Structures are given as C-alpha cells and as structure tokens.
Amino acid sequence: MDAPPPLSPTRPALPALLGRQVPIEDYAVLGDGHTAALVSRHGSVDWLCLPRFDSDACFAALLGTPEHGRWLLTVRDATEVTRRYRGDSFVLETTYRTPRGTAVVTEAMPLADGRADLVRRVECTHGEVEVEHDWVVRFGYGAVEPWVRHETDVEGCDTIRAVAGPDSLVLRGDRLPRPVGRRHHDLFTLHAGQAVELSLTWVHSWEPVPPRLTVPDRVDATEIAWGVWVRDCTYGGPYREAVVRSLLVLRLLSDVTTGGIVAAATTSLPETFGGERNWDYRFCWLRDASLTLEALLEQGFRDEATQWRDWLVRAVAGDPKDLQIMYRVDGGRRLPEFELDHLPGYAGSRPVRIGNAAVGQVQHDVLGEVMSALAMARDAGLSETADTWSLQRHLVDALAGAWREPDRGIWEVRGDPRHFTHSKVMVWAALDQAVRAVETHGLPGPVDRWRRVREEVRADVMEHGWSAERQTFVQQYGAEHTDASLLQIVHVGFVPPDGPHARGTIAAVREELEVAPGLLLRYRTERTDDGLQGAESPFLACSFWLADALARADDLAGATEVLDALVPLANDVGMLAEQYDPVTRHMVGNVPQALSHLALVRAAHSHDLAARRAATRVGAC
C-alpha cells in the first residue's frame, strides 16, 4: 500500500455530500483557558461557546449555515491564503494576497485577564485590499436571534451589543458593521499601512460593558504566555514541532480555573460524512484526561497534575458506585443527551447531539487509566494527601468487587455489555498501581486482597482474552478478532513490550485494522455491535498507539515509518481531528481532539526512548 499523502492544496475535491461545507482541516483554533473558537482558513469564526467549552454556542455555522451564527473577517479576491501561529502560541496570523495588495489578519483570545474576549486586527501591508466583515450572532446553538442595539461604553465609544437571556456579546472596534437584514455587515478598502482593530466580549446580560482592551498589548502578552508555558518541554527528538504544538493543544483544552480537561472543542463533527456517529466531546472523560496527564508528565509538566488531581477529587467525591466516566468542566454530573433538530449538521450529518448518554455507562478500564496517571504523578514527586489516597482506595476496593461484570468498553459501545479484554487488563492495572503505591510509597491499604484479585484478573485474561490459535489478545472474551485498544496492553506492563504476546497482538491488529500504512481502524464495525449504523474512518489515536507499541518493542524502524506517515497528516497549523479518511484525504470527527494529540506526544516520547536504547546498544558494541 502506498502511504497516504499529507493534506495539501492539491488534495481531491471534497465528497459531494459536503457541498459548500468548510473542510474540517481548514480550521485553526484559538483559546483562552476556558473555551475555544474555530476559525476557518478564510477568516470565519464558525464555532464558539461562551464562556466555557460546554456552554451553548453563539456561533454555530460549523454545524449549519452562516445564519446559525458566525463572525467573518476576510479579504476579498485573495489568490493565496497562508496562516501560521506566532511562535509557540495560539496567536493566529493569516496572510491574504490579492492582485492589488496584501493584508494580514492577527487574532487571539487573550489569556489571564478574567474575561472572555476574542480580538482581531486586519492590516494592509502592501497595495490595497477590500475587507469584508460579517457579524451574525445566534445564541442557543444558532436557535436564538438576539436583541441587538448600539450602546456607549464607559470610554464614551460606540458599541454593538447583542442580548438574549443571560448572555450578551459586545462588538467594539475602529469600524463597526451596519445592520443588513438579520446580520451586521461591512465592506471597506484598506491601503498600505492602514489597519482596523475589533474585539468581541462576552458578558452577562445584566452586567455593564467592561473596559476596552488594548489589542496589540493583549495579543503580545498572550503570545508570550503560551511560549513561557511550553518552553519547559523536555522533548528534543525529530518530531519536536509536532510535539510542542500538541502539548499546546492539550493545554488549550484544559480549563485553567477548574482543572478539567475536555476531550475536544466541538460537538457532532461526524465520524462518517452524512452518518449518525456524531458525539459531543466538550466534556471531561476521566480516561482521556488521565492519558493527557501522563503525556504532560512525561514532558515535565507537574503543575497540571496537581490541578487535575484536585479536580478529580471534587468531581468524583461520594460513593464509589456513583463514579461516572465523564463530567462537565466544573465537575458537574448531569450531561443529558438531546438532539438539536434546527441544525442540519456538518455535511448533513444528523443528529446534532448535545450532552452524551455514555455518561451512564459502566467502563471498567477507566480506573486503570486514572490510577496509572496518579501513579506517574507520585513517581514525579507529587505527594498524596489523606483525601486523594482515600479516594483511590475506595475506588479500587469497589472495582475489586465488580470487575467480573461486563461493561461497555473503551469505545463506549451502545450494544450489549461485553467482557472486553482491554477493560479487564486495565482493571489489572488499577490493582497493580494500588499494590505498588503500598509497596513503593508506603501508603496504607489492603494490599493482600489487592494482590490476590490482581492475580485472579491476570489468570482470567490469559484464559479468556488470549487466542492461542491466533497468538493474539482478542477484543472480547470468546472472540477471535482484535481491536486497536489491545495495543495499550504494553503501556501498563501486563506483558513485556518485546515479548511474544505483544508482538503477536501488534501483528494481528495490523493485519485486521491497518487500511493504509500506519492508519488503523478502532475495530471492524461489522464484527463489533456498537449499536450504530455505518462505518468510520481510521482513528488517529489508535494509529499513534501503533507507533508507540512498536517503539516500546524496540522496533525503531517500524515506529519511525508509522510516525513519518502520521505526523504530516496534521493541518497547516498542526491540528488533528479524531479520524482521517485516506480515500478523500480529509479529517473526520471532532477537532482538535485531545486523544489524537496526546497519543502523538506519547508515541514520539517512546520513539525517542527507543532511539536512545538503540544508541546505547551500538555504543556498547
């Protein structure tokens, strides 16, 4: 098979189903540590939830049309559009070149100012350009048209304020658009050296308009703040640029106040264009957050571990039987799933879902990921408190009594519960980390019981989850097929990464699920009752897990080949979605996806360690 080509301007046309929809990979992301905005290559903010990731969207064109809300600032008649983030930040610069001139749009969501703002500045750097400005506010995910009026702010300047219920958006700037029908629109010419600054501010509808921001100062301060945070990254290998950008994405998806880490910034971007596999990922999965924490810890970021652990203790406090697999950003438990019938969906992919019914599922693997992340934090020097260890003890004790029950697994299948091999292995990992906490760190606990149950789990997995005939672990007890989650077995030490069990499983997974070099499906939908119709594209996190597993098995050449195929699949500003379609060569699913980015970071880290081991062996010879 030929390697899938990277995204490029010469890629094939989008499937006819997409129509005029902006390709997912054409979006960049801005963020302020509380929420995120998606900006298209041609300057349309098509997705923004304020003031938090899991708030209602006020710009929802991503899942519909411009009439569902957007903020467009673009240059007309551009023959070339390029963009980049300034340094290691989320300050976005987009350069438009036209036959008559060139302009640069700089935009950011300022950090650490206690507000929710998005600032944009367009400057003509050569000749003259025609700028288009279109402002369409629709609260409630595009359903609520606000009351819009002009107000004078505290500095005596004109503003436009859109109000609906508890929300309001305030638009200010050097030049404000005029009402045209149900939107505000402007078209103007800039000459070389001229610039227009604009700012958008969310504020409760009963509160006064806050003071204006000094746009250049806030943009510069935001660029510096992002750069300061990521400069301590310890990775220095060949994929450093991708690793640094991925670490920044993981930080962007973390709420700086609560410590919650969301799985993605969006909802209902489809896993299949036109299909029903559309989910809301703007919540905090314990699994994804734990794996994010491990990726950050491996690169030397400890403060985030403390903040996330404190969030965890608050979120899961109470009876262990009430443990959920996911929570809201603030730790809230209620995530009822419902559908937005007024939105046509991305590329006609319906339903558009808000909330996530998987919150009520039993997934036994989750505590394994949590305990592994907290163990890594302990090993990094993060001391336990009485509350944090007491919580872990109670959760492990409860799991030790319930592990024989079937569950929904890592992929949250909506079919019948099964005995998933990955789930059982992660139960073993939770118990193993609990035992190690007692043995290595001297923490109190019923270690004899934990050891006994740990060995019972291992024996059960080896009896029912291993196929002697195929020489591979299998997806679920009694099956003969695999799924990509089995690649994570080597992460927790259940089997040696270079032993026959690991190598056999890697080979079987590749044989069944690799559809292009390095690109893996999660599972074959025709073999897994996930309760849904249709197929899906290769899952990027699983593909990076393959590189990770190969590196841990000291197959450095194989890991390099996979990473070299995967890393270029990020878009021009380093974003990765959930999946990638090698046929149409387009991203699929929610974006930016934490699981994809953290898997890239961890695979690159394992690759670097494998390269060092190889160098040591050469030196020893």
CA angle (603, 418, 460) in 5-degree steps: 75
Closest CA to 589 of 602, 600, 580, 598: 580
Q: Note the pLDDT of residue 97.
A: 98
Mean pLDDT of all residues in 252-257? 96
Q: In the prediction, which pLDDT does 19 show?
A: 63
- Tell me the mean pLDDT in the region 459-486: 97
pLDDT, residue 386, reads 85
Distance CA 447, CA 469 (A): 35
Q: Which pLDDT band holds residue 2 (cuts at 50, 70, 90)?
A: very low
Q: Please report the pLDDT score of residue 525 as a whole number.
A: 84
Beta-carbon-side half-sphere exposure of residue 259 (alpha carbons within 13 Å): 18
Averaged pLDDT of the chain:
94
**pLDDT of 575 strictly over 70:** yes
With beta carbons less than 8 A apart as the criterion, state whether 598 and 295 touch: yes
Q: Would you say residue 20 has pLDDT above 80?
A: no
Q: DSSP string of 528-579? A: S--S--S--PPBHHHHHHHHHHHHHTT-HHHHHHHHHHHGGGS-TTS---SE
What is residue 15's predicted lDDT score, i.e. its pLDDT? 56
Range in 13-22, 200-209, 304-313 with the lowest mean pLDDT: 13-22
Q: How confident is the model at residue 18 (pLDDT cuts 50, 70, 90)?
A: low
- Residue 163 clears pLDDT 60, i.e. is over it: yes
pLDDT confidence of 25, banded at 50, 70, 90?
very high
- Quick one: pLDDT band at residue 574, thresholds 50, 70, 90? very high
The SS3 of residue 358 is helix
> 171 is written with which tokens?
């638009």
Q: How large is the average pLDDT for residues 462-472?
A: 97
Model confidence at 621, pLDDT cuts 50, 70, 90, reads low
Please name which of 426, 410, 404 lies closest in space to residue 490, comparing C-alpha atoms. 426
Question: How close are the terminal C-alpha atoms of the chain, in Å?
Answer: 36
Q: How far apart are CA 105 and CA 113, in angstroms?
A: 22
pLDDT digits (tens, 9 = 90+) for 279-293: 999 999 999 999 999
**Can you tell me which residue has the tokens 């998606």?**
38
Q: Can you tell me the distance from the alpha carbon of 18 to that of 402, in angstroms, rounded to the nearest whole number?
A: 45
Burial class (CB in 10 A: 0-12, 13-18, 19+), 207: exposed
At residue 17, the pLDDT reads 58
Determine the longest span between alpha carbons in the chain, in angstroms.
79
Span 564-585, average pLDDT = 96
Q: Which two tokens stand for residue 312?
A: 């965890």
pLDDT tens digits, one per residue of 385-419: 888 999 999 999 999 999 999 999 999 988 889 99
User: What is each CA distance from 95 to 24, 124, 200, 226, in whole angstroms?
Assistant: 20, 10, 21, 22
On the 0-12 / 13-18 / 19+ scale of CB atoms within 10 A, 584 is: middle
For 560-571, what is each residue's pLDDT tens digit?
999 999 999 999
Burial of residue 150 (CB within 10 Å: 0-12, 13-18, 19+) is exposed
Model confidence at 1: pLDDT above 50: no
Report the candidate in 329, 85, 117, 107 with the shortest Cα–Cα distance to residue 226.
Answer: 85
pLDDT in tens, 347-384: 999 999 999 999 999 999 999 999 999 999 999 999 89
